[in-house]
Each structure stands twice: as structure tokens, then as C-alpha cells.
Amino acid sequence: MQYEAPCPHCGQLIFVDAPEGADEVELQRKAQELCSCGMARFEQMKVRNGNKLKEFAGNEFKDAEECKVIMVESILALQNNSFDRITLKRGRKTYTLDLDKDGFVRVKSKYAENTETKF
């Protein structure tokens, strides 16, 4: 069904497709996905980056699901401004996670060589 829902950031009413009986939170989430205001675009970018982050963690920790979960949760904590910097160590590899000046998560890994991945 089509509903008219407000963007949670700017209040603009947007037509969204949702199942019958969808609650207000779900309608606003769908409106946010379609809105073009600055905050909605920022939230859309965070979702896209979240998928990239999960893919990165999955590739980095193919053999350890719990390490992947900890990496993703750490990144989410940074994005929510709960921490300024997080350091994780596994074996001989150290990961330093922080935000750059634009709000993107950086993951620096150190083993025999330094690498930096920017999201």
C-alpha cells in the first residue's frame, strides 16, 4: 500500500510503499530512505557505509565470527559518538578505529606494514 509519511529530519511528506498496517516508525524510516534533505542523505550514506563495513569485517575475520561482530559494534559505537578512538588487538595485528574530520570511519591495521581503509 502507499502511505504518506514525514521525513523524520525535515518533515517533508513523502509517498512510500509499505505493508498494510505498518507503524509510524517504519513509515518514517522508509520516508527517510527516499528524502533528499541533507540529514536524510547523511543517514542514507551511513547505511551504505554500514554495508561496506560489514563486508570489510567479514573479509578481515573470515575465520572468527565473534571478532567480526566486535569490529562492527566498535564501528557503530564510533559513528554514534560513544568513543573517539577504539583499539582492537588480535594476535600480532592491531586495529585502530577513529573518525576523520568528515565523519568517515577509518580503520588502520598494523602488522608488518601499515594500511588504512577509509569509509
Q: State pLDDT tens for residues 72-111.
A: 899 888 888 889 999 999 988 999 999 888 778 889 988 8
pLDDT given for residue 70 in this prediction: 93
- Terminal-residue alpha carbon distance, the chain: 35
* pLDDT over 70 at 117, yes or no: yes
Question: Per residue in 5-63, pLDDT tens?
Answer: 999 999 999 999 999 989 999 999 999 999 999 999 888 887 777 778 888 888 888 88
pLDDT given for residue 112 in this prediction: 62
For 31-47, b where at least 16 C-beta lie within 10 A, e where not — what string? Answer: bbeebeeeebeebeebe
Torsion of CA 79, 83, 84, 89, to 10 degrees: -100
* pLDDT over 70 at 113, yes or no: no
